[in-house]
Amino acid sequence: MRITGLRLHNFRCYSQVMLTPPEGVTVLVGENGAGKTNLLEAVHLCCLGRSHRTSFDKEMIAQGQETTAVQLTVERNDGKHEVGVRLFENARKKKVIYVNGKTAHKAGELMGHATCVIFSPEDLSLVKEGPQVRRRFLDMLLSQQQRSYFYALQTYMSVLKQRNALLKSGDMRQMPAWDEQLALAAAPVVRLRREACISLNEWARNHYFYIGGKEEEVFALKYQSALSQADDPAEKMLQGLHAARDEDIRRQYTTFGPHRDDIDLSLCGMPMKAFASQGQMRTAALSMKLAAFDLLEKSQGEAPLLLLDDVLSELDPERRRRLISRIAHAQALLTCTDPGDFIGAKPACVLHVEKGKITG
Ligand SMILES: Nc1ncnc2c1ncn2[C@@H]1O[C@H](COP(=O)(O)OP(=O)(O)OP(=O)(O)O)[C@@H](O)[C@H]1O
Ligand SMILES: [Mg+2]
Tens of pLDDT, residue by residue, the chain (360 residues) = 999 999 999 999 999 999 999 999 999 999 999 999 999 999 999 999 999 999 999 999 999 999 999 999 999 999 999 999 999 999 999 999 999 999 999 999 999 999 999 999 999 999 999 999 999 999 999 999 999 999 999 999 999 999 999 999 988 899 999 999 999 999 999 999 999 999 999 999 999 999 988 999 999 999 999 999 999 999 999 999 999 999 999 999 999 999 999 999 999 999 999 999 999 999 999 999 999 999 999 999 999 999 999 988 878 888 888 888 888 899 999 999 987 777 666 788 999 999 989 998
Ligand 1 atom closest to the CA of 60, numbered from 1: 1
Strand partners, 28: 335, 351
Q: Which of 29, 38, 314, 341 to mutate for ligand 1's pocket (most ligand atoms within 8 Å of CB)?
A: 38
CA of 350 from ligand 2 middle (Å) equals 16
Least Cα distance to 149 among 99, 113, 193, 118 occurs for: 193
Please tell me the distance from the alpha carbon of residue 47 to that of residue 39, in angstroms, as a whole number. Answer: 13
CA of 12 from ligand 1 middle (Å) equals 7
Strand partners, 221: 265
> What is the number of the ligand closest to the CA of 36?
1
Please tell me the distance from the alpha carbon of residue 173 to that of residue 178, in angstroms, as a whole number. Answer: 10
Determine which residue's CA is closest to atom 5 belonging to ligand 1.
13
| Secondary structure (3-state) at 328 | coil
For residue 253, give every residue at least 6 positions away whose Cβ sits within 8 Å of its Cβ, in sequence order, or none.
164, 167, 168
Q: What is the pLDDT of residues 351-360, one digit of tens each?
A: 999 998 999 8
Q: What is the pLDDT of residues 290-301, one digit of tens each?
A: 999 999 999 999
Please tell me the distance from the alpha carbon of residue 350 to that of residue 48, in angstroms, as a whole number. Answer: 26
For residue 122, give every residue at least 6 positions away whose Cβ sits within 8 Å of its Cβ, in sequence order, or none.
53
Q: Are 76 and 1 in contact (CB under 8 A)?
A: yes
Whether 71 is in the pocket of ligand 1, judged by its Cβ within 6 Å, is no
Q: Are 288 and 118 in contact (CB under 8 A)?
A: no
Query: Which DSSP string corresponds to 158-225?
Result: HHHHHHHHHHHHT--TTHHHHHHHHHHHHHHHHHHHHHHHHHHHHHHHHHHHHHH--TT--EEEEEE-
Whether 51 is in the pocket of ligand 1, judged by its Cβ within 6 Å, is no
The CATH-assigned architecture of domain 1-115+304-360 is 3-Layer(aba) Sandwich (3.40)
| Secondary structure (3-state) at 311 | coil
The CATH number of the structural domain formed by 126-302 is 1.20.1050.90
Helices (H), the chain: 36-48, 125-128, 131-145, 147-169, 175-212, 233-251, 272-275, 278-300, 317-327
The Cβ of residue 86 has, within 10 Å, a number of other Cβ atoms equal to: 18
Q: Which amino acid is at 333?
A: L
What are the domain boundaries of the chain? 1-115+304-360, 126-302
> What is the number of the ligand closest to the CA of 313?
1
First-residue to last-residue Cα distance in the chain: 23
Query: If 0-12 CB within 10 Å is exposed, 13-18 middle and 19+ buried, where does residue 164 land?
Result: middle
Q: Give the model's pLDDT for residue 344.
A: 62
Whether 63 is in the pocket of ligand 1, judged by its Cβ within 6 Å, is yes
The Cβ of residue 232 has, within 10 Å, a number of other Cβ atoms equal to: 12
Whole-angstrom Cα Rg for the chain: 21
The Cβ of residue 304 has, within 10 Å, a number of other Cβ atoms equal to: 25
pTM of the model as a whole = 0.95
